[in-house]
Amino acid sequence: MSDMSVHAAVHGAPTSFIRKYVFSLDHKIIGLQYYALALVAVVTGMVLSWIMRVHLVWPNAPIPGLGALAKVGAPGGVVTPEYYLQLMTMHGTLMVFFVLTNAPFAAFGNYFLPIQIGAEDMAFPRFNMMSFWTTFVAFCILISAFFVGDGPPLSGWTGYAPLSAVGKDAGPGQGIGQSLWGISIFVFCIASLLGSLNFIATTLDLRTKGMTLSRMPIVTWAWFITSCIALLAFAVLMPACLLLILDRVTGTSFFIPAGLNVGDHIQPHQGGSPLLWQHLFWFFGHPEVYIAILPAIGIVSHILICNMRKNMLSHRVLIYCMMAIGFLSYMVWGHHMFLSGMNPFSALVFSFPTLMITIPATIMTLIWLGSLYGSNLRINSASLFCLGFISMFVSGGVSGFFLAQPSIDIYLHATYFVVGHFHMVMGVAAIMGVFAGTYFWFPKMTGRMMNETLGRWHFFLTLIGTYAIFMPFHYLGLAGNVRRYSAFQDDFLVPLIPVHKFITYAALFTGAAQLIFIANLVYSRFKGPQASPNPWECTSLEWSTPSSPPPFDNFGGQHPVVHHDPYQYGVKSSTGDYIMQTSPGPGAAS
């Protein structure tokens, strides 16, 4: 395949500011744009979660400034029950779509996938620009829901019909805000489809000479596998959103059955099925979890190998595991719907592949741990976040044992156990991967080093904080604490409020600790020490570029030729204990 690599310059260097930084065709700028968008989204989402946490434990306390921002939702700064749910919906949607899909996949993938395979840009630079700007439009549409009619939607990031489909009759937050949500996700799907097609085409067609598929770094593989998953997943969510919008706007009945009396209004619908929405949504929704976590797995493995100064026991087995997870992720969506009235036998059918995902996940964990044995592990902010990722991946993973079993799900479904589970494994673990990637690749992206001391403080405070937030969620769940409640007033919930107070303090603390990261990011961008082209002594192609950040065409008019498997560490060479993929001459046996 390698001799088929395309080397023609895909487009000329930009000259104007607008073409260079705004409507850029350069995959690196687009990657940074995705990163910036994810950063805005994550800060917004985190602030929303703060408001939610504060409201949960001090329900009648006015939140300073909120009264002016949300006159309807929070009169006098006191959050109303519907506003809590609206914030929750926006938090989930922002985090899942605009942070967990964008940051580890679109942002880093855009920046580094072409470089790692020795390409000058993506296969379709214009598509690439369109992907980002379409995502941006989706983001703006979603945020605009804060400022319309009765505010953003409140049916959760899962948007279950018929609550999300019947419109205003179902109460506040079901007006135009819910329609905007559907449109936003629809547009987001278009962007993701374009993006993942582009990733797949780039990986298959633009590899430089010598870059066989088996010589691709593990993270390149992760983005490639994720693209394949995303292509199938978003292709199902997109029509689902379209049908939802049609139900809301044109009066069709895809998700609404006959005979509903919503808010004393008989619904003029018949023949639809709420389960249809759940099937379509979760057919996307479960693979989405892996769209968030696989790139993080790739990033973490890639960084760890470099910092361990030796290859994983087998990075290929890790890649096979990712493929297995990607494949299985399409057979398990029904485990979100055990209690939704499907045929009870189908619960067992969905339960088995779900439990089977444990096997590749365990193999991966064992390989990470076994590889740490006997390594020369370099401790820095990036590698610490990788270790944090492994810890979180395990913690969030083992709770999946419980939820994968329908009989236990009867008790734990829709409790904080689920919330703790997916926040740890999909939220925190993936974000730790993003942090690791940021500390690791920042020198390449900006030409400057990040501050190591601040980075370590950031890591340790984040590790403690996130465990303090999400571990107790599991125990709340075991006590039957149901989720998506804006206040805890039931007799069995009131005694749990002290635990919630602890969690709220931990959330405020952890959120504040992220300011260290933001400060480090901004400070280092302008004042950080100059970075050498390969500060971590890594072997993959992104560290072979002539400068940091790489020139417009990545390799300064050169076409790198790959001679080795990606991870040649622990060998004697002229440069030290590693051999670059591009350096000619013998490498270690693979």
Q: Which of residues 466-505 bind other proteins (CB under 8 A)?
A: 467, 471, 474-475, 478-480, 482-492
Positions 534 through 573 that interact with other proteins (CB under 8 A): 569-570
Per CB under 8 A, 148 contacts other proteins = no
Smallest gap from residue 452 Cβ to other proteins (A): 9
Residues with Cβ within 8 Å of residue 516, at least 6 apart in sequence: 454, 457, 458, 461
Of the candidate residues 40, 235, 242, 313, the single one contacting other proteins (CB under 8 A): 313
- Bridge-partner residues for 171, per DSSP? none
Q: Looking at beta carbons only, is 381 or 548 nearer to other proteins?
A: 381
* Distance of alpha carbon 447 from alpha carbon 439, whole angstroms: 12
Smallest gap from residue 483 Cβ to other proteins (A): 8
* Distance of alpha carbon 434 from alpha carbon 430, whole angstroms: 6
Smallest gap from residue 294 Cβ to other proteins (A): 18
Amino acid sitting at position 300: V
Per CB under 8 A, 77 contacts other proteins = no
Q: Looking at beta carbons only, is 286 or 310 nearer to other proteins?
A: 310
Of the candidate residues 94, 95, 138, 154, the single one contacting other proteins (CB under 8 A): 154
Per CB under 8 A, 314 contacts other proteins = yes
Q: Looking at beta carbons only, is 124 or 160 nearer to other proteins?
A: 160
226-239 CB burial, b ≥16 within 10 A, e <16:
bbbbbbbbbebbbe
Per CB under 8 A, 137 contacts other proteins = no
Positions 162 through 221 that interact with other proteins (CB under 8 A): 162-163, 166, 168, 170-174
Per CB under 8 A, 589 contacts other proteins = no
CA of 155: how far to CAs of 98, 255, 331, 338, 488, in Å?
Answer: 18, 14, 25, 20, 19
Structural tokens at position 342: 């499907």
Phi, psi of 568 (to 5 degrees): -100, 85
Smallest gap from residue 272 Cβ to other proteins (A): 7
Per CB under 8 A, 406 contacts other proteins = yes
Half-sphere exposure of residue 150, counting CA atoms within 13 Å on the CB side?
17
* Distance of alpha carbon 386 from alpha carbon 492, whole angstroms: 39
Per CB under 8 A, 413 contacts other proteins = yes
Positions 344 through 403 that interact with other proteins (CB under 8 A): 344-345, 347-348, 351-352, 355-356, 358-359, 362-363, 365-367, 369-380, 384, 387, 390-391, 394-395, 398-399, 401-402
Smallest gap from residue 12 Cβ to other proteins (A): 45
Smallest gap from residue 496 Cβ to other proteins (A): 11
Positions 246 through 265 that interact with other proteins (CB under 8 A): 256-265
* Distance of alpha carbon 319 from alpha carbon 566, whole angstroms: 13
Q: Looking at beta carbons only, is 232 or 482 nearer to other proteins?
A: 482
Smallest gap from residue 176 Cβ to other proteins (A): 14
Per CB under 8 A, 160 contacts other proteins = yes
Smallest gap from residue 67 Cβ to other proteins (A): 10
Q: Is the peptide bond before 257 cis (omega within 30 degrees of 0)?
A: no
Query: Do 537 and 567 meet the contact criterion of CB atoms below 8 Å apart?
Result: no
Q: Looking at beta carbons only, is 84 or 139 nearer to other proteins?
A: 84
Positions 265 through 294 that interact with other proteins (CB under 8 A): 265-266, 272-275
Smallest gap from residue 384 Cβ to other proteins (A): 6
CA of 530: how far to CAs of 20, 171, 446, 458, 548, in Å?
Answer: 23, 56, 9, 22, 9
Q: Looking at beta carbons only, is 162 or 326 nearer to other proteins?
A: 162
* Distance of alpha carbon 386 from alpha carbon 296, whole angstroms: 9
Kindly report the number of other CB atoms within 10 A of residue 522's CB atom. Answer: 10
Per CB under 8 A, 339 contacts other proteins = yes
**Region of 486 on the Ramachandran plot (φ > 0 left; ψ -120 to 50 alpha; else beta):** alpha
* Distance of alpha carbon 299 from alpha carbon 375, whole angstroms: 18
Smallest gap from residue 562 Cβ to other proteins (A): 23
* Distance of alpha carbon 142 from alpha carbon 18, whole angstroms: 25
* Distance of alpha carbon 205 from alpha carbon 452, whole angstroms: 38
Query: Do 529 and 449 meet the contact criterion of CB atoms below 8 Å apart?
Result: yes
Residues contacting other proteins: total by CB under 8 A: 121
Positions 30 through 49 that interact with other proteins (CB under 8 A): none
